[in-house]
Structure 1
Amino acid sequence: MSRPEHLAPPEIFYNEDEAKKYTQNSRIIDIQVQMSERAIELLLLPEDTPCFLLDIGCGSGLSGSVLEDQGHYWTGLDISKAMLDVAQEREVEGDLLLSDMGQGCPFRAGTFDGAISISALQWLCNADKTSHKPVQRLYKFFSSLYACMSRSARAVFQFYPENGDQMELVTTQAMKAGFYGGMVIDYPHSTKAKKIFLVLMTGGCVVHNYP
């Protein structure tokens, strides 16, 4: 199967048909929910305390609904208007913003207690336009994300790197932007179940030994 980011830019690939598929396919929903729950677990949020979180590439709001279910408040950004339209139809509680994450996170300093992103980060490794430079867009994204997070916050990205070079590219730009962290790989020996999470911290030391 071709990777979606090789077929079309995200704002075109995630059209009305694709947006509907995301909210009508029970298998897709189940996978999104499971990955969202795992990402939230890796955030290590304080117990019994509602947090204000950023959902990057929030799509139709499936991950945002998981944040709501766990008692948190959230703002979501996505480049696909069709996906955000479905999120509005679903009446999610988060604020929604039509935005290209490669142009940065347009929020005030220290706004968020944490951030999650499900299945979105790999799109920044792709150049959809001649003006797109993946290294620059990744750095712009990570540096602006770092600025809008509190100094004890974490960001967790579930994503699908195409190869080791992309993992290195993403990690290098995140560290240049000021983050600490590392990769967490669930089910590393399974082709189908394997999931890769990039766990970033705004302060502290390198991530080790996750369950």
Structure 2
Amino acid sequence: MSSHKRPEHQAPPEVFYNDTEAQKYSSNSRMMEIQSKMSERAIELLNLPPDEPSLLLDIGCGSGLSGETATELGHYWVGLDISSSMLDVAIDREVEGGMILADAGQGLCFKPGTFDGVISVSAIQWLCYSNSRAQNPAKRLYAFFSTLYSAMRHGTRAVFQLYPENPSQLELITLQATRAGFSGGVVIDYPESTKAKKIFLCLFCGVTAPQMPRGLGAADSASAHVAYSSERLTYKQLRGKSVKKSREWIIEKKKRAKAPKPNTKYTGRKRRPKF
């Protein structure tokens, strides 16, 4: 998805999803089919007890397309969205879930241990953008994840399908989720496909992450999911390069130089202080 087409760059979600856009989104058969498939996959990743109805929270529920999938699978749900126009469409469509008009970046107000699982389709990346000087993406994400953690039952999961703009955005989201207490990782369906590739952030509440679910359509299961922890990766680990001005960086630069001075012995080694 190219950056100039991303709705996040055009306006805040409550402005972008106005009456016209909400009607367009909810009447597009292709969009509805994609939303239904992604919602079904997200619920599958929740690993809910079979043949037992669960109470789910849908973050960014919009016009209730994801909620309808949950209903068809025998679950109850509560949806939350910042766009009143999208929720109006959901009411007109007579979806069966409860709906709340709220900004997830302000935190959630549910009782502790309310939900058996949480899903979100194409919504969480909106919290990575600031629409005013008062909005701080890191703080908004932490407020969301910390209150979400409290609202979930111990041992349950939250699954977010998202479209991160870049790796740094995904790192920001996972870092704030970790700070809030979650463990988990990223599951990638069809990682080799440009069109079919889908990214899911799978979070675990109150337990150390068990074996991560497998991504669909991956030849190598290791490439289909990426676990993460509270440990920060170094620049070298993230990019495969030496940290600038380190001993390794200096040696690599000297090797690549066209005509290094033959008498130089500088390697970045720390010297003892002279007295």
So what's the TM-score if we normalise by structure 2? 0.75
Q: Distance in 1 between matches of 2:60 and 2:7?
A: 14
State the 4+ residue runs in structure 1 displaced beyond 4 angstroms.
Answer: none
Letter in 2 for 1:13: F
Aligned residues between the structures? 211
| Higher RCO (Cα < 8 Å, 6 or more apart) | 1
Q: Does 1:208 pair with 2:212?
A: yes
Offset, 1:187: 1.0
Say if 1:63 and 1:209 are closer, same or farther in 2 by CA, change over 3 A. Answer: closer
Instruction: Give 1:18's aligned residue.
Output: 21
- Note if 1:159 corresponds to 2:157: no
The offset of 1:205, in angstroms, is: 2.5
Aligned partners of 2:120, 2:212: CA distance in 1, in Å?
20
**Aligned equivalents of 1:14 and 1:190: distance in 2?**
29
Aligned AA (1:102): G
State, as a whole percentage, how many aligned pairs show the same letter: 61
- Partners of 2:204 and 2:142 in 1: CA distance: 16
What residue identity is the alignment partner of 1:210?
R
In the alignment, the residues of structure 1 paired with residue 191 and residue 88 of structure 2 have an alpha-carbon distance, to the nearest angstrom, of: 35
Gaps of 5+ in 2: 216-275
Q: 1:98-177 alignment to 2 at 5 Å?
A: 98-177=101-180
Alpha-carbon separation, structure 1, partners of 2:25 and 2:55: 25
- The alpha carbon displacement at 1:209 in A equals 4.6
Deviation at 1:188, TM superposition (A): 1.0
Q: Helix, strand or coil: the match of 1:77?
A: strand
State the AA in 2 paired with 1:140.
A
Select 2:191's aligned residue among 185, 188, 206. Answer: 188
The separation in 1 between residues aligned to 2:34 and 2:67, in whole angstroms, is: 14
TM-score by length of 1: 0.98
Query: For residue 38 of structure 2, what is the amino acid of its counterpart?
Result: M
> Structure 1: 5+ residue runs without aligned partners?
none
- 1:27 is matched with 30
Alignment-mate amino acid for residue 208 of structure 1: M
Q: Deviations over 1:14-56 (max 9, x none)?
A: 0111111122110000000000000000000000110000000
Structure having the higher Rg: 2
Q: Distance in 2 between matches of 1:93 and 1:208?
A: 32
> Within 2, Cα distance between the matches of 1:204 and 1:148?
15
